[in-house]
Structure 1
Amino acid sequence: MTILDIDEKQLQVTDVDVTETVLIFKMADGRRIEAPLWWYPRLQAASPQDRRKWAILPFGDAVGWEDIDEYVSAKALIVGGPAPGAKPPAEAAE
Structure 2
Amino acid sequence: MSISAAGIGARAVHVRVEHGMLRAVLADGREIAAPVSWFPRLDAATAEQRGVWQLIGGGVGIHFPDVDEDISVAGLLDGEGWRR
* TM-score between the two structures when normalised by the length of structure 1: 0.76
Considering fraction of residues, name the structure with more strand.
Answer: 2
Is residue 56 from structure 1 mapped to residue 55 from structure 2 by the alignment?
yes
Whether 1:44 and 2:43 are equivalent positions in the alignment is: yes
Q: How many residues align?
A: 79
Gaps spanning 5+ residues in structure 1: where? Answer: 85-94
Q: Between Structure 1 and Structure 2, whose CA radius of gyration is higher?
A: 1
Superposed CA deviations along residues 48-82 of structure 1, whole A, max 9, x for unmatched, are 11001100013321100112110101100000032
After superposition, residues 14-25 of structure 1 pair within 5 angstroms as: 14-25=13-24
1:7 aligns with 2:5: no
Percent of aligned positions that are identical: 32
Q: Which structure's relative contact order is higher, taking Cα pairs within 8 Å and 6+ residues apart?
A: 2
- The whole-number CA distance in structure 1 between the counterparts of 2:40 and 2:18 is 14
Instruction: Report the 3-state secondary structure (helix = DSSP H, G, I; strand = E; otherwise coil) of the residue aligned with 2:57.
Output: coil
**Large movers: runs of 4+ above 3 Å:** none
**Structure 2 length-normalised TM:** 0.84
CA RMSD of aligned residues (A): 1.5
Can you give the 5+ residue segments of structure 2 that lack an aligned partner in the other structure? none
